[in-house]
Amino acid sequence: MSRRRQIYEGKAKILYEGPEPGTLIQYFKDDATAFNAQKRGSIAGKGVLNNRISEHIFTLLGQIGVPTHFLRRLNMREQLIRQVEIIPIEVVVRNVAAGTLSKRLGIEEGTQLPRTIIEYYYKDDALGDPLIADEHIAAFGWASQDEMNDMADMAIRVNDFLSGLFAGIGIRLIDFKLEFGRIWENEYARVILADEISPDGCRLWDMATNEKLDKDRFRRDLGGEAEAYQEVARRLGLMPEGEASSVLDLDTHRKKRGK
């Protein structure tokens, strides 16, 4: 592992050169950051859980015809992916008001939105990933109009599919972030889903209690981050029996904290 060439290190993942041209190895760290890395910490076991959760979701998306960079999981923390040219745009899909939308527009968190909203953010840490309009994307050439259409279409398909998947396990999909990348085939570029889909980049609320099962536990110092990620994995059927029974549930966590 140590002799592999590192291609890129992000806040939550590291990319290494893959075994064949056009492939990379995506390594999931336990590191957690929030508010553009102003807050830093770590969630024990997060990398293992996100690797597994993202594998599961990308595999299902592949089965319904959404092209993704995922090839296969290699081990607890690594997966083999296709190398893409990342489009520098974060696509956020929102079903329910929360986070920056609530803050920016003064809409109470938890308010069902009248329709699904897609937002674009320019992926630039130095600028703090600013909210942008389609016009900026076109004017600065970050993506073509066809690519914009493909990303929006895929974002809606992913939202429809994930909303149903999570509803089936008692979870409300509030919002999530997607990233896309280009692959080149015979001089033509095609856009595919990249990065990861995990509780790091989604808001997931328990349908019965509104308990947060995502990175907001870390962002807002709610505690029980690892337990929340484990709960998502458990409900998705990804925890072996032994592990699931040894997992502290959120009730236990609350009792421990005397709440």
Give the interface with ligand TMP as residue ranges (CB under 6 A).
Answer: 92, 98-101, 129, 175-177, 201-203
**Closest separation between CB of residue 32 and ligand TMP, Å?**
11
Three-state secondary-structure class, residue 93: strand
**Closest separation between CB of residue 17 and ligand TMP, Å?**
26
- What is the rounded CA–CA span in Å between residue 149 and residue 121? 16
* ∠ CA 180-182-184, rounded to 5°: 160
Which lies closer to ligand TMP via its Cβ, residue 24 or residue 96? 96
**Closest separation between CB of residue 223 and ligand TMP, Å?**
19
Which lies closer to ligand TMP via its Cβ, residue 16 or residue 122? 122
Amino acid identity, position 184: W
- Residue nearest to ligand TMP as judged by C-beta position: 99
- What is the rounded CA–CA span in Å between residue 206 and residue 200? 16
> What are the backbone dihedrals phi and psi of residue 250, each rounded to the nearest 5 degrees, phi first?
-65, -30
C-alpha distances (whole Å) from 19 to each of 3, 47, 119, 195 are: 13, 21, 36, 19
Contact at 8 Å (CB) between 202 and 90? Answer: no
Which lies closer to ligand TMP via its Cβ, residue 42 or residue 102? 102
Which lies closer to ligand TMP via its Cβ, residue 27 or residue 121? 121
Residue 84: strand pairing partners: none
Which lies closer to ligand TMP via its Cβ, residue 201 or residue 224? 201
C-alpha distances (whole Å) from 192 to each of 15, 59, 69, 183, 230 are: 17, 13, 7, 7, 28
- What is the rounded CA–CA span in Å between residue 25 and residue 38? 27
Which lies closer to ligand TMP via its Cβ, residue 203 or residue 235? 203
**Closest separation between CB of residue 186 and ligand TMP, Å?**
33
**Closest separation between CB of residue 36 and ligand TMP, Å?**
7
Which lies closer to ligand TMP via its Cβ, residue 160 or residue 251? 160
C-alpha distances (whole Å) from 115 to each of 94, 95, 154, 156, 224 are: 9, 7, 17, 11, 32
Among the residues of 81-202, which ranges form H helices? 99-105, 134-140, 145-167
**Closest separation between CB of residue 195 and ligand TMP, Å?**
9
**Closest separation between CB of residue 44 and ligand TMP, Å?**
20
